Amino acid sequence: MRNPEELVKKLTDLGVSVNVYDFRSAKGDIPKLGSSSKYGPISLYRGFLEIGTNLIQDHLYSKQILDWNNSALDTFGSERDVVFLVHGLSQHGGHFRNLRNTLIQGGFCPVVVSYDYRSPFLEYSQKVSEDINCVLGEKERGFAIGHSTGADILKYNLITGRNLKICGSLLAAGTFNGQIPDLVSRMLFCGADDYCNPQSPKSDGILDKLSLPVSDSFVVSFENDFFVHLNASFDRDGINFLVRNMGHISGSGINDLMNQGYLEMVNFLNK
């Protein structure tokens, strides 16, 4: 993987304000954020507006996912690297519509991976791994972007040796250092405590496993994330890109500027 400062420059040129924290050689501390990270009226308004946009797009486009995937694989599957998009809790993948288009324009073949978030984590994480490997087949190169629980799924599969064939992943707004995320807000959407709360009988030690290091991946955290705070999302053993002035849902595929940032991040993994 190249020097992450190169990616910071590209993202800054795009207009994505980002800081990099590279803890690969020495475990680091979670940064203390300035006043811009406080949840003032403007950031809260943006957050709720993005939640509304996310839910509307997810509802409108989720039934088109199979057609999207077949079209992309038929058109680009033999000549382009595949990028798998894995959604979070209470989602279906329709909100990836704009990100999918950005990746196509950027020279990749995007495939949305859906799962039933109402089933146990161990069950749907296994399904995601099987679906990704089935699509890749004999292809040697594939990448993945996981958002929120989608990021947790990707990292869990990489850690537990499920033979996930991807050669690089972006883990956005997940739970990666053994700290319990803000369960109150996450439970508004679904039972995240099934695997994020070590006191839950269904947790099965998953939270601890998610804190283990993996290679060829890096973490993307969001400064104004009021679903998964930095004390839960930062990877103290890897590369972290902290996106300033954006929230949790900004990374779900509905923010066009962040989508351009994701494209640059996949290109960074691809070198």
pLDDT tens per residue across span 217-268: 999 999 888 788 787 888 888 899 999 989 989 999 999 999 999 999 999 9
Q: What span, in angstroms and rounded, lies between the C-alpha atoms of 122 and 129?
A: 11
Mean pLDDT of the chain: 84
Asked if pLDDT for residue 184 goes beyond 60, the answer is no
pTM: 0.89
In a domain, 231, yes or no: yes
CATH classification of the domain holding 149 = 3.40.50.1820
In a domain, 218, yes or no: yes
Contact 93, 87 (CB under 8 A): yes
Tell me, what's the pLDDT at 35?
A: 41
Q: What span, in angstroms and rounded, lies between the C-alpha atoms of 96 and 87?
A: 8
* Lowest-pLDDT choice from 42-56, 100-114, 120-134, 155-169: 42-56
How many domains is the chain partitioned into structurally?
1
In a domain, 134, yes or no: yes
In a domain, 30, yes or no: no
In a domain, 210, yes or no: yes
In a domain, 61, yes or no: yes
In a domain, 29, yes or no: no
> In this structure, what token pair is assigned to residue 24?
């690969």
In a domain, 31, yes or no: no
- Enclosing domain of residue 55: 4-23+36-269
Tell me, what's the pLDDT at 36?
A: 42
Contact 8, 231 (CB under 8 A): no
Handedness of CA 187, 189, 195, 196 (dihedral sign): negative
